Amino acid sequence: MPLRALPGTHILNHMVQFSRAHYDATFAALSDATRRGVLEHRGRTDASITDLAESFRMTLTGMKKHVSVLERAGLVATEKVGRVRTCRLGRRGLEDEAAWIERYRQLWNARFDQLDDVVADLQRKEAADGRQKRK
């Protein structure tokens, strides 16, 4: 008898896989300094891929590859008008990624707070032991 999934688990599993792929694409795009620079540049103005290549002193082919990584992640959008391909910020922001990072920041802060409590407790015990030895 084949195993049957519980109602809704397929959708949940699909959502987990989607968000993992979504985060993977975004963080891969953001892992490169040139691509982060392109995003910063796009925050100020739209530009052609040729202009971007010149700004970053790289080949047109190299810049096209960087832009395509950003485009797959939804961080930029390109539009071809005539012979010129213009690059602009994508519609998608980084709210999901920022929320994901924030959850881990809170987790690490809580762990560091616990570690601070342990260290403070050890320091109090060490100080108390030192006073007892002097008497």
Residue ranges covered by each domain of the chain: 1-92, 94-135
Task: Select the CATH number that applies to the domain covering 1-92 from these four: 3.90.1150.10, 1.10.10.10, 2.30.40.10, 3.30.2350.10.
Answer: 1.10.10.10
pLDDT for residue 135: 59
> Could you tell me the pLDDT band of residue 5, with boundaries at 50, 70 and 90?
low
DSSP 31: T
- For residue 1, pLDDT beyond 80: no
> Taking a C-beta distance cutoff of 8 angstroms, is the pair 59, 34 a contact?
no
State how far the Cα of 109 lies from the Cα of 81, in Å rounded to an integer: 49
pLDDT for residue 119: 92
SS3 1: coil
The mean predicted confidence, pLDDT, of the chain is 84
> Could you tell me the pLDDT band of residue 4, with boundaries at 50, 70 and 90?
low
Neighbour tally for 51: CB within 10 Å: 16
